Structure formats: structure tokens, C-alpha cells
Amino acid sequence: MTTGFTTGRALRPTTKVLPEHARGHNRALVLQTLYRSGQQSRADIARETGLTRVTVSDLVAELIADGLVIEVGQREDARPGKPATLLDLDRSAFHIIGIDLSEYDTFRGAVLDLDGRILHRAELPLASATGEDATALVIALVETLVGHATLPILGVGVGSPGVVDLAGVVLTAPNLGWANEDLQGTLNLRFGLPVVVANDANAAALAEHSFGGADSDMMLIKVGHGVGAALLLDGTPLYGSRFAAGEIGHVVVGTDGGAECVCGKRGCLETWLSTPRLRSALAAADAETNIQILREAGQRLGIALAPIVGALNLAEVVLSGPIALLDGPLAEATIETLRNRTMAEFHGDLTLRMTTLGEDIVMRGAAAMVLSAQLGVS
């Protein structure tokens, strides 16, 4: 998938604009307009943003001086008079590095351009590394990608499994053996670049909402090394009281026990649904039993999701992970279970689908986080 970022929607702003932030806000508005709409004149930007032409000219001068905006020529215009000068975000000003730590056997990353196109890929086998060894692998992967960037790097975005706070500290990621791992701080110190670390499912949901056309009330389920989820309500990401919103992987599903989980409990959703658990269960069984295993996993997911769909009146559930495992008997059993367990008149039109962004979803979401943090565009 190398489609650009530019055809999508911006996330709804969640904070009020204070007067002292107005200039930065207006600057981001101008950048956002150019990022989404492409070449525009100063007058176009003023119309689009509601800012005065004087303010726009002033901000544009500053953005040109900062190397973020360029003049790209004159508009072909039949009308008499001086033709308008067109401006654009300088799309060749920076590269972005996007990193995906969600897969169980590989850390993946890419150099992306500002439009979200993947220019160079790299990956490192995880080889069961945990703790400091896993951190060293992330550093090695970023180092490789930094070496492949041919423009200044706007920032590094990382989608990590586990619970990640808003300062990019991985509070817990059992599968990688991380607890209070300051990944954002470590990478920032090591590379001297802006770094954004967020939960992998939250990064994926951002990519899906901005570029995949997802509904504004949706839940994204990320199946990989573990099972994570992210929630968007009214277009706004939900983080929860301790940043663990969407962490359904270690919720026990049912009262009938189940396999032992890495967290110490039995029958967590992850024990039914994570990629390594599913792969090993399928490898040990015949074809007919395989369908049963996939259906059982789908039913367990449906059981876990039904109260969430019911409580939040979600419109859409998006699945992200290995298509061969998820798309088929598993997804069918999930939607059947959801329909059986929720109210048809309010949840009957709920849709469940695979992401359209493929396996690059977390890397693209990670790059989108950098764009949002550094330029205020999304």
C-alpha cells in the first residue's frame, strides 16, 4: 500500500484554543489547508480558513522562511490582472520514520514521505527478544531507517503494543517484557529527533479514520503478537483513566477457564485470538477442526465485544491483522455472535470489516502521529 495520506478527514480538535495559542493554531490551519487541498493562493487560504488576508500573508511568509511552504508558480487565469501565486506545503521538505512493533515475530518500519507513501522498508526478526534486547532492536531498526532517509527527518512515530501513556512511556507490554519503558525518551535521546510513541491499535485507528474512511464511532481490533483495540467516539480517540482504553486482550472471556495467558490469568481473549496462539492451534489440527478453531475464536471475540458495542452504540468494528486468519469463519462468527447478543433496532446495522489499509496500517498511523504532533496536520 503506497497510497497517499491526502484524501481523508482530520480528527476533530479536542482542546479549546486559548488566545496565546492562536498564532500556532492559525499556523496549523494554514498548513492543514495546504496539506489537504493542495495548491492554493493566499486568497484561497483566507477563504477556506476564515482568517484575514493580512494574517494569511503574514503566516505564509513565516512558513516560507521556515521551509515548510513553497511558492509553486502562477495560477493559469483568463481574467485580466496579476495572476495569483500558488502555494503548497513543501512535500519534499521532510521524511518521516514509521515503526510497527505489533507483530509477534518481526519489528517493521519504513521511511515515508509527507503524503504517507512508503519509500523504503526495513524489518528485524524479533527472535523472542524481550526487555532491553527488544529496546535494542527498536534502536537498531530506527538507525537503519535514519540511514535511508534522504531528507531531513520530521520525526519518528512508533506504534507499540501494550499500555502507553501520553508521554510515550510503555507502562506495560507483557509480550515484550516492558514495564515503564520510556521508549519515547530513549529514542529521542539516542537520535535527537522528535519521537511519538503510542499504542499500536491507537495508531492503527488514527490511520483508519484519517485514510481508511472509518466511521466516527468505531472500534479497531488489532490482532498480532497480542490483541489490542482502540476506540474512536465522535471522531475523538478514547484513552481512558490510565491510558488502557481498548486493552481487551487480557479480559477473560467466559466462565469456562481456558488456556493460561502470559499475564497469569486463564482464558484471556488473547489466548483465543492472538496470531501465535491461533497459528499453533491450527497447525496441530485437521482442516475441519481448523474451521471450528477459527469460529470459536470469532465467537469469543463477539462475546467480548457485545457489551462494548451495546454500551457505546458503535457503528463499526474494524479488524486489523493476518487476513488469512481473520477474514472468513472467524469474522463471520464474530458478527453472528454480536448480532445475537445486542439489540437489533440499535445495533442491527453494525458493520464488521477488515481494514483497507493492509499490513502497513500501524506504520502509516505512526507517521500520521508525527505529522499531527510536528505540523498540526492530520
CA 302 to chain centre: 23
Burial of 209 by CB count in 10 Å (0-12 exposed, 13-18 middle, 19+ buried)? buried
Instruction: Return the number of other C-beta atoms located less than 10 Å from residue 264's C-beta.
Output: 9
**Span interacting with Zn ion, options 8-16, 148-156, 180-188, 242-250, rule CB under 5 A:** 242-250
Q: Is 278 in the site for Zn ion (CB under 5 A)?
A: no
Among 114, 137, 268, 303, binds Zn ion (CB under 5 A): 268
Closest distance to Zn ion from the beta carbon of 306 (Å): 20
The residue among 222 and 250 lying less far from Zn ion, judged by its C-beta, is: 250
User: What is the rounded CA–CA span in Å between residue 56 and residue 26?
Assistant: 9
Residue pointed to by grid coordinates 468505531: 218
Q: Is 261 in the site for Zn ion (CB under 5 A)?
A: yes
Percent of the chain that is helix, strand, coil (3-state, to 5): 45, 25, 35
Closest distance to Zn ion from the beta carbon of 276 (Å): 14
Burial of 159 by CB count in 10 Å (0-12 exposed, 13-18 middle, 19+ buried)? buried
Beta bridge partners of 121: 110
Q: Is 250 in the site for Zn ion (CB under 5 A)?
A: yes
**Span interacting with Zn ion, options 19-27, 230-238, 248-256, 272-280, rule CB under 5 A:** 248-256
**Span interacting with Zn ion, options 66-74, 182-190, 255-263, 322-330, rule CB under 5 A:** 255-263
Q: Angle, nearest 10°, between helix axes 53-65 and 42-49?
A: 120
Among 263, 291, 312, 315, binds Zn ion (CB under 5 A): 263
Q: How far is CA 17 from CA 25, 28, 167, 326, 373, in A?
A: 7, 12, 21, 42, 16
The residue among 261 and 338 lying less far from Zn ion, judged by its C-beta, is: 261
Instruction: Return the number of other C-beta atoms located less than 10 Å from residue 353's C-beta.
Output: 14
Alpha-carbon torsion 349, 352, 358, 361, what sign? positive
**Span interacting with Zn ion, options 72-80, 128-136, 209-217, 256-264, rule CB under 5 A:** 256-264
Closest distance to Zn ion from the beta carbon of 199 (Å): 16
**Span interacting with Zn ion, options 18-26, 132-140, 228-236, 249-257, rule CB under 5 A:** 249-257
Per-residue contact flags (x/-) with Zn ion for residues 102 to 141, judged by CB under 5 A = ----------------------------------------
Closest distance to Zn ion from the beta carbon of 273 (Å): 11
Return residues touching Zn ion (CB under 5 A).
250, 261, 263, 265, 268
